[in-house]
Structure 1
């Protein structure tokens, strides 16, 4: 009964909202006014702050397909989000027009890794996701993708109870683990006592080994110039390790490096950027790159000096000291951001959940695609059961079906 009340309220609110599309590269000042007017009253993370969004828009080419969609009630903005638009062809058969929440759908640019994604919605408004996407004034779209959507920052967007006109899929669930820094302070700054016995022993052991080199020192950048210097050290350490693993690393493109240098230069003096360098004596242990926003510390990237012996755990030492430093500074939490890795979980006291959601319009081609996917996986299972023998007839037929280009004209 309660869900029905919420849904009816959300529908009534939606009937009074008018959505308008703006090009942020042409109407930048107006987009800024709309966005910042909502930031003052809507819950949001650093990744939707104007500091981040401003830097993001400035980093993109004007032809990337990004637009701002703003909702108005009585000429006042009460809802806003960005969308990237892109057309894809899947399985060589199905063409889909895609929209993506606050991202571009271009992997090169989306490598920034947006976290705690949300729609800015006036707290006095409740709206159903179905009603919102129904009103999007863009033509020829089939799918609305919401990467790493956070219910924590969007409590008044109702994503349940969608009609048969749409299919709602939860593509991924990820935990964002964090340390409650108030809990650390209440525990007399004894952070280790909040962790498991095994993790406590590991941290104490690696601290003991590093201290043989000299006192452990934490240096926090005091200026934008200093922060850029630590950032360069972080990039070198980060890229060295990931190249050794045969991976490109987070800073493998000039775009990523340029974006973050600009972000650090523009936003450090606003108190949003924290670069830390941790050393033992004269020897580097690692560097951390964090965002500071609304009392939260968001760990974004790192560069560690790895050694051959397993007793040296630079990540544990750096995060241990970062937690203590930021707890002493009065911050509320230290967030490791979305990743289900065991080491982040073991260093945390709590977690939030992020969801990757896909809303599809109910179309025949998606029913056919889902059926083909089911049959395809069934055929592969049969093939694996048969070993290297003859392919099952069903599997062979499906492979032929995927090659029928004439299907593009019929779905």
Structure 2
């Protein structure tokens, strides 16, 4: 029977109980669509449970008969724009938060490597036709639709042409994070043959030091108690390394530690997370937390002791190579470094993905102000990131400081009008 003759049902879930009740059908759809680990109910609900307070849950689902075919995991945030005005913005669950109970979190990006809607592959065209209509309804309720970290393959990106030219919103598309992936395939030697000679040599020599020379051991947590114990070590090593650079580290905020711990444990119980560590003589000097889903291994957090005598072996990298090699034996095809294209990632990377950010600002006073704020923030971020280039050309720190100060003043003047 074709989808044309079936009734499409739209439903909005606003309570945490409804969110929990969706778990089984939610994950069944995620598995079938081959979505990322960040779309799993366990990850999404954990984020909401830790950071969703004071926001309005707004999960939209579409069903044909009794079959769930699409999930749009949104929430609405109401925040104070200035002394006299509040604004409402719609986001993906897992997005970066600019305001939160207990103060701003020590992150300036979304919590997830990828955020997206979840759509049954047989009904992509049907949901694609609904997106513009849905957004036209939503923009009457909120001042801005702000969707971050959208992957290149997302249905939202394919629906972009239909979102242009609206008299209801101003559309803005910008680049979000870059993510690096290694296509490890199904054969270890074949994967190594795709790398440069020096990288291939380093990996083989490093793994020989583990497997043959037994310089140190790489272990993996097998129980929840062991997982939790090694997670404590991960936090300690991670924080120590950042403290050495006079920086607080992401786990300085207890809320971040609680989120990562609870999320990882929930995924671990289902076989979707692991924690590996390097150890010698009961001394742990490197820990790697990773997620595993849909034939993909995701790096999540790393901690290592920069002062250990084993640092010269790059134990964190050797854990990664070990995970790649054993991952192939267990049917994994992709190793995802997630954000960043640092040199230690690029040497093994097969594919670089550019996430996108879509913003639809309502054509009203609040929407215009949010649009100007976003544009100015993007400019300011770019300006901050490229100040060092300016300093080289200007050769004058005083002038650079004055430019920075006046740039901020101009931006503030624009958005405050």
Do the structures match in fold with TM over 0.5?
A: yes
**Residue of structure 2 in register with 1:4 after alignment:** none
Give the alignment of 1:3-402 within 5 angstroms.
19-32=10-23, 35-36=26-27, 38-60=29-51, 62-73=53-64, 77-88=68-79, 96-103=87-94, 106-107=97-98, 111=107, 113-123=111-121, 124-126=123-125, 127=128, 129-136=131-138, 139=141, 141-152=142-153, 154=155, 158-161=159-162, 162-165=164-167, 166-182=169-185, 184-185=187-188, 187=190, 192-200=192-200, 203=203, 215-279=215-279, 283-307=283-307, 311-363=312-364, 365=368, 369=372, 402=413
Rounded to whole Å, the distance in 2 between the matches of 1:117 and 1:170 is: 15
Rounded to whole Å, the distance in 2 between the matches of 1:103 and 1:113 is: 6
Higher mean alpha-carbon deviation, 194-203 vs 255-264, is at 194-203
Rounded to whole Å, the distance in 2 between the matches of 1:400 and 1:272 is: 44
* Backbone CA RMSD of aligned residues: 4.3
Rounded to whole Å, the distance in 2 between the matches of 1:147 and 1:388 is: 35
Secondary structure of the structure 1 residue equivalent to 2:226: helix
Judge conservation of contact 1:19–1:137 (CA < 8 Å) in 2. Answer: no
Aligned length: 381
Secondary structure of the structure 2 residue equivalent to 1:176: strand
**Residue of structure 2 in register with 1:3 after alignment:** none
Q: CA deviation at 1:290?
A: 0.8
Secondary structure of the structure 2 residue equivalent to 1:35: helix
Q: CA deviation at 1:201?
A: 5.4
Q: CA deviation at 1:279?
A: 3.2
**Residue of structure 1 in register with 2:101 after alignment:** none
Residues 79 and 125 of structure 1: CA distance in aligned 2, closer, same or farther (over 3 Å): same
TM-score scaled by length of structure 1:
0.75
Secondary structure of the structure 2 residue equivalent to 1:178: strand
Judge conservation of contact 1:25–1:62 (CA < 8 Å) in 2. Answer: no
Rounded to whole Å, the distance in 2 between the matches of 1:242 and 1:352 is: 28
Judge conservation of contact 2:48–2:93 (CA < 8 Å) in 1. Answer: no
Residues 359 and 223 of structure 1: CA distance in aligned 2, closer, same or farther (over 3 Å): same
Higher mean alpha-carbon deviation, 277-286 vs 352-361, is at 277-286
TM-score scaled by length of structure 2:
0.74
Secondary structure of the structure 2 residue equivalent to 1:135: helix
Secondary structure of the structure 2 residue equivalent to 1:256: helix
Q: Which runs of 5+ in 1 are unaligned?
A: 1-11
Q: What do the CA deviations read for 1:32-83 (whole angstroms, capped 9, x no partner)?
A: 3663453354331111112222333333454333321223455754322222
Rounded to whole Å, the distance in 2 between the matches of 1:353 and 1:17 is: 33
Higher mean alpha-carbon deviation, 47-56 vs 73-82, is at 73-82
Secondary structure of the structure 2 residue equivalent to 1:151: coil
Judge conservation of contact 1:64–1:104 (CA < 8 Å) in 2. Answer: no
Q: CA deviation at 1:245?
A: 1.9
Q: CA deviation at 1:262?
A: 2.6
Q: CA deviation at 1:237?
A: 0.8
Judge conservation of contact 1:174–1:340 (CA < 8 Å) in 2. Answer: no
Rounded to whole Å, the distance in 2 between the matches of 1:96 and 1:351 is: 36
Q: Which one has a bigger Cα radius of gyration? A: 1
Rounded to whole Å, the distance in 2 between the matches of 1:311 and 1:217 is: 15
Q: CA deviation at 1:367?
A: 10
Rounded to whole Å, the distance in 1 between the matches of 2:374 and 2:18 is: 44
Secondary structure of the structure 1 residue equivalent to 2:331: coil
Judge conservation of contact 1:177–1:352 (CA < 8 Å) in 2. Answer: yes
Q: CA deviation at 1:109?
A: 6.8
